[in-house]
Amino acid sequence: MVQLKNKDLYFVSSNPNKFREIEPILRQYGIVSQLIKMSIQEIQSESVHRIAEDKSTYAFKHLLRPVVIEDDGFYISSLNGFPGQYSSFVYKTLGNQGILKLMLNKVNRRAYFLSVIAYNDGHTLKMFSGKTQGMLSKAAAEGGWGFDPIFLPKNTNKTYAELGRLNRKSFYSHRRKSIEKFSKWYITKRLQSGNR
């Protein structure tokens, strides 16, 4: 049984790395959150928005508390958007080296990350997205998680993994962009309802 502490909202994910990235941003906005580790089976959909929406509905029904879900995709231009919404599965099966092999003779190395935040409190379902454009590196850097070692955000020559070691990933992060949009909306909503 999950122990729910008295928090503003609950971030539901099986990936604690995501919570480590978003929790400090939520805290900057005065939003108190708790990670609830829960694996939610993903629906088959071409849309990260639809997947996040479905996961948030499932999580709310189980917790009956305001929840936040983050789903994301990694889209590589010359691979027709692959792995896209299947990024987690592809990372587990191919990994970074597998992606780099697929890209061996590709000239176009453009890629982007898309993050979608879904907030669900049983009455309101809102979605917020953030995108970071960039390129695939030629080799994997040390550190980071997921595809961080092979993604170079636009306007930098360092991968997400390298930026993470310098505490600068958040400056470029697709996840920061979506959680900041959510946080600004949530604070306004809370002020309007008188819940300070």
Q: What is the pLDDT of residues 103-125, one digit of tens each?
A: 998 999 999 999 999 999 999 99
What's the residue count for the chain? 196
Buried b (16+ CB within 10 A) or exposed e, 76-88: bbbbeebbbbebb
pLDDT confidence of 135, banded at 50, 70, 90?
Answer: very high
Alpha helices per DSSP H over the chain = 16-28, 48-63, 87-93, 95-102, 160-165, 169-172, 174-193
How far apart (Å, rounded) are the C-alpha atoms in residues 28 and 113? Answer: 23
Contact predicate 41/62, CB 8 Å: no
Q: 1 pLDDT exceeds 50?
A: no
Residue of 54, 71, 72, 148 with catalytic role: 71
Question: pTM for the complete prediction?
Answer: 0.90
Helix/strand number for the chain, H first, E second: 7, 7
The single-letter DSSP state of residue 6 is: S
Mark whether 54 is an active-site residue.
no
CB-neighbour burial class of residue 190 (10 A; exposed 0-12, middle 13-18, buried 19+)? middle
Contact predicate 174/185, CB 8 Å: no
Q: 7 pLDDT exceeds 80?
A: no
User: Can you give the pLDDT at residue 3?
Assistant: 54
Strands 9-13 and 33-37: parallel
* Residue 105: C-alpha distances to residues 56, 79, 100, 109, 138 (Å): 40, 12, 10, 10, 11
CATH fold of the domain at 9-193: Maf protein (3.90.950)
